[in-house]
């Protein structure tokens, strides 16, 4: 009778199996996660940094060169978003590694027992022993 696997066990096998379907799911979740982290940076972290820096809004930082506007404040915000995503992914990977099954080394096979000597070998051993006794 086939043993039924628990949902948690099946989920663990799904998470740690490295195939294309799992990678696709990871990319989709990563895209959604990026939106969450970008909101965290834009709506929470950057305003707090703005308070610390005296009300500075990074999104308005820009340099005008001729008719072009270089919005380096958005670039700073993108760097902070990247660092936040990298930090959270690092944390998730470290956490996942704790739950990963640790493979135990396979025990070495026991040495095969020596085969029983043949009848001829037994007879020769007896003859040898008798000759040694005779010489003594």
Domains of the chain: total? 1
Whole-angstrom distance, CA of residue 50 vs CA of residue 45: 9
Q: What is the distance in angstroms between the CA of the first residue and the CA of the last residue of the chain?
A: 69
Torsion sign over Cα 41, 47, 53, 56: positive
What are the pLDDT digits (tens) for 66-109?
999 999 988 888 888 788 878 877 888 888 888 876 666 777 78
Domain that holds residue 32: 7-103
Determine, yes or no, domain membership for 79: yes
Determine, yes or no, domain membership for 35: yes
What are the pLDDT digits (tens) for 5-63?
788 888 777 767 667 677 778 889 888 888 888 888 778 887 888 888 887 777 788 99
Determine, yes or no, domain membership for 27: yes
């Amino acid at each position: 009778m086939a043993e039924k696997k628990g949902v948690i066990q099946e989920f663990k096998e799904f998470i740690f199996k490295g195939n294309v379907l799992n990678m696709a799911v990871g990319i989709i979740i990563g895209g959604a996660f990026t939106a969450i982290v970008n909101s965290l940076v834009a709506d929470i972290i950057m305003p707090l940094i703005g308070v610390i820096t005296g009300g500075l809004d990074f999104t308005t930082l820009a340099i005008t060169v001729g008719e072009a506007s270089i919005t380096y404040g958005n670039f700073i915000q993108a760097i902070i978003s990247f660092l936040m995503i990298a930090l959270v992914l690092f944390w998730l990977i470290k956490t996942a590694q704790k739950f990963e099954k640790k493979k135990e080394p396979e025990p070495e096979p026991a040495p095969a027992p020596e085969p029983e000597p043949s009848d001829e070998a037994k007879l020769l051993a007896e003859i040898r022993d008798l000759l040694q006794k005779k010489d003594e």
